Amino acid sequence: MTAHDDAASPALASPDLASSDLASPADGPRPGPLHRLGYLLGRPLPDSMRAWVTRDITGPGNVRRYMLRGFVPFVPIMVGLCFIPAPWWVRIGMTLLLAIPLIYFQIALKDVYRRHLLRNNGLDPALADKVKVVRLSAENAAYERLHRPSAPTVPVGDGGVPDAAPREIEGVVVDRPDER
């Protein structure tokens, strides 16, 4: 545990950040070229740039940025393979032999890398899952509006169970009375 991790404890204490807490590009300072290079190489950014880190890792376009960052080191290798004296189909085959596992492992390790960046910058790693939960709960609500009409209420006097509202935790429906 470093001194930077100790200073980050207030951010770690609030794992349930709402989507409104995600910073817009205009909020807070943005890292300069040297800070950004250090960030891409694994160095934490200053605490004043946490809003930018949150947006970078959880905001719109985060998967695109992640995939592009993974391909940048691959470009010089691909260019180098183009100068090997061989037919073009051999050069393309060598490039694909490197590119296919690169894509596979990048997709497989995306969540691990995002959690690492959040933890490294003093933020709660669960924030990476919060974005997915909010997105899935919105999709679930849209599905239920379209395909699941509201259940008819059962009167209490007929031996039925009184109609109760679904229980929600942070906007996610966790219990529906008609499924009991």
Residue range 38-53: average pLDDT?
87
Lowest mean pLDDT among 3-17, 32-46, 74-88: 3-17
- Confidence (pLDDT) at 164: 56
- Confidence (pLDDT) at 105: 95
Alpha helices in the chain (DSSP H): 3-7, 9-12, 33-40, 50-58, 62-71, 74-82, 88-108, 110-120, 127-147
Band of residue 87 on the pLDDT scale cut at 50, 70, 90: very high
- Confidence (pLDDT) at 57: 86
Task: Give 112-119 contacts, CB < 8 A, sequence gap 24+.
Answer: 113/66, 114/57, 114/58, 114/62, 114/66, 117/53, 117/57, 118/53, 118/54, 118/57
- Confidence (pLDDT) at 170: 57
Q: Percent of the chain at pLDDT above 90? A: 22
- Confidence (pLDDT) at 3: 41
pTM metric for this prediction:
0.57
- Confidence (pLDDT) at 167: 60
- Confidence (pLDDT) at 10: 38
- Confidence (pLDDT) at 22: 43
DSSP 138: H
Beta partners for residue 175, in sequence order: 167
Band of residue 150 on the pLDDT scale cut at 50, 70, 90: low
Determine the residue type at 78: M
- Confidence (pLDDT) at 17: 40
